[in-house]
Structures are given as structure tokens and as C-alpha cells.
Amino acid sequence: MPLNPVRQRCRSALTGLAALATATVLTLSAAPPAAASDTWTEVGSDRAAPLTESQGLTSVEIPSGSPNHYTGIGTIPFGVALRGWNHVGDPDASYDGHYIEPYQRDSGGAKMFRVQAPDGTWSEYVHALGPGEALNNSWVAVSPDGQWMLAGEWGTMSRLLVFPTPGVNAATSPSSDLPQASTVRLDRAVRDVQGCDFVTATRLLCSSDDPDGSLFGLTKPLLQVDLSAAPGGSDVAGHVTALRRLPTRSGCSGGFETEGIDYDRRTGTLRVIVMSPGFCVLTDSMTYRFTRG
């Protein structure tokens, strides 16, 4: 996940407001038809605020009492940013109410996971990077049993990282390094994954910001990853399928950015954030809603 792309676009959009206000609004561009294998149908959308809803979301009940919780540039606590953790990714929560946000900074040899317990208290778990591990900390996905947490790197990758879930798994402590427990070995490379969420114990849905399209024949794909077994302390295989292209519609032309993803097990609703290009990042960025079928 690039460092603060939405912040940069918000700044550029605001400074160009006067000129863009008189520009002719371009015709809305619809996403191309979904692939034949698509099993998720778009059913609606909600505006995504660029400062507080631009990075990720989760629908699991968390200590704040809200069933839908978003992250964005504006949700990073001042004290956390002051210590260099200036980027937050797509969060998740365990079914018992431990809420987890992934953080990264511009340099260094670590990434951080900020955890809110069901009693409302916050703790920070730091992971020292392993050999060849990317600095980016784009997203987290907690397994349905709560004991394991998947996390993702930016760029073209053939793996997902598996950790004991901080604050839930008894092997974790804020006072010690959070170790990588195992790896999901993907049978096909993925690019620029911005979020994943568990649908079952062995199936994830992931949002990719891939702008190239050479890996699956389409850009901005919704991906499905089927695991050979539930994640744990040993490596498992992951079979990757591209299901459809995610929507990119806006009054502005340019580069869209696909962000976090959430599967709401209560309603069967899938939601994916897509930020609009240019000035329209402020006006028509959306959280798209999908249902299976």
C-alpha cells in the first residue's frame, strides 16, 4: 500500500478546487461486465469520506459499540502518528470483540498492530520484519476461531503472512515481538492487495488495486483465496481465483484506488471501498455493496 496516497490527492484536490469547479464534468464511466465466474452482484453503494473512511472497514462488533468501523488518515491518533506510524490499513476484529488496526511508517524494520480489547483498552504489538518482508502493512484478517491473523504486503506477492492474533492468542504479548507463525503459499501471484476478509474458515475474499491487469486479465479484481486448511502454525496452500472487476465510477477521470474489504457474516453483504481520482476523491468515492448470486 503506498504511503498516504489519499492524503496527497486530498491536498491536490483542495488546492485545485477553484479551477475544477468550472470544468465540465466527464461522463460517468461504468465498470466492464463481470467475468462469467462472478458470484457477487453489486446491490448499492455509500459515499466514503476521504479522511475517515478511505483505508478500510470491518463489520464485527467492537468496543466502540459500532458494528461498522472505518479507518482513514483522519482516524490515526495524534500520538501514534507522532511516533512515525503515519499509515493505517484495512482493520478487522475477532468475533469476541478484539479490534485490530495495521500500521506502517516510512522507514525502519518493523510494523505495528494496534489492538482494542473488549473492555476498551488499547495495546500495541510490534513485529520485527523478517528476511525479505516488505515494510508495508496493508491489511489484517482474523480467522473465524480468533486465534490467527493474516496480514498482507504491497506489490506483487506469492504469499500471505500468518501471525498469532495479538491480544487473543495466548502466545502474544505487547512487551515482546509479534512473531510470524506461518505463511499462506499462493498458487498464483497477486498484486497490490488492499484488504482480505474471511468468508469461511478456509476462504477469503480480497480486494486488489492492481492497475496492470496482466495477472488475471482484468484490473482492480475481486479475488477469492481458498486455503488447503485453516491457518495456524504450519504453512498452507492458497488457490487464487479472480471473480470480477470492482467498480470504478466517478465524475473525474484518472486513477482509482481500491481499498479495504469487509464481509458481514450477519447479512452476507460484501463491501469494498474505492476512492475516486483527482478532485472527486472528495465527492464521489464509494463503499460498494455486493451480495452473492
In a domain, 22, yes or no: no
Residue 151 has pLDDT above 90, yes or no: yes
Averaged over 157-170, what is the pLDDT? 98
How many whole angstroms separate alpha carbon 238 and alpha carbon 236?
7
Q: pLDDT category, 1, cuts 50, 70, 90?
A: low
pLDDT in tens, 103-142: 999 999 999 999 999 999 999 999 999 999 999 999 999 9
> Is 90 in contact with 194 (CB distance < 8 Å)?
yes
* Band of residue 60 on the pLDDT scale cut at 50, 70, 90: confident
- At 185, give phi and psi (nearest 5°): -90, 110
How many domains, the chain? Answer: 1
Question: What integer best gives the mean pLDDT of the chain?
Answer: 89
User: What's the CA gap between 150 and 243, in Å, rounded?
Assistant: 21
Residue 218's pLDDT is 96
Q: Does residue 246 belong to any structural domain of this protein?
A: yes
pLDDT at 26: 32
Q: Which CATH number does the domain housing residue 57 bear?
A: 2.130.10
Query: Does 163 score more than 70 pLDDT?
Result: yes
The string over 117-143, giving b where at least 16 C-beta atoms fall within 10 Å of a residue's C-beta and e elsewhere, is beeeeebbbbbeeeeeebbbbbbbbbb
Q: Categorize the per-residue pLDDT at 39 as very low, low, confident or very high, splitting at 50, 70 and 90.
A: confident
Q: Which domain holds residue 116?
A: 5-17+27-292
Residue 23 has pLDDT above 70, yes or no: no
- Look at residue 73 and tell me if it is in a domain: yes
With a threshold of 0.95, does the pTM exceed it?
Answer: no
DSSP letters for 152-178:
E-SSEEEEEEEEEPTTTSTT--TTS--
pLDDT of 36 > 70? The answer is: no
In a domain, 137, yes or no: yes
- What average pLDDT does the segment 64-69 reach? 71
Where is average pLDDT lowest: 13-22, 158-167, 204-213? 13-22
Judged by phi (left if over 0) then psi (alpha if -120 to 50, else beta), residue 112 lies in beta
Lowest pLDDT segment from 57-71, 95-109, 229-243, 246-260: 57-71
pLDDT band at 293 (very low <50, low <70, confident <90, very high): confident
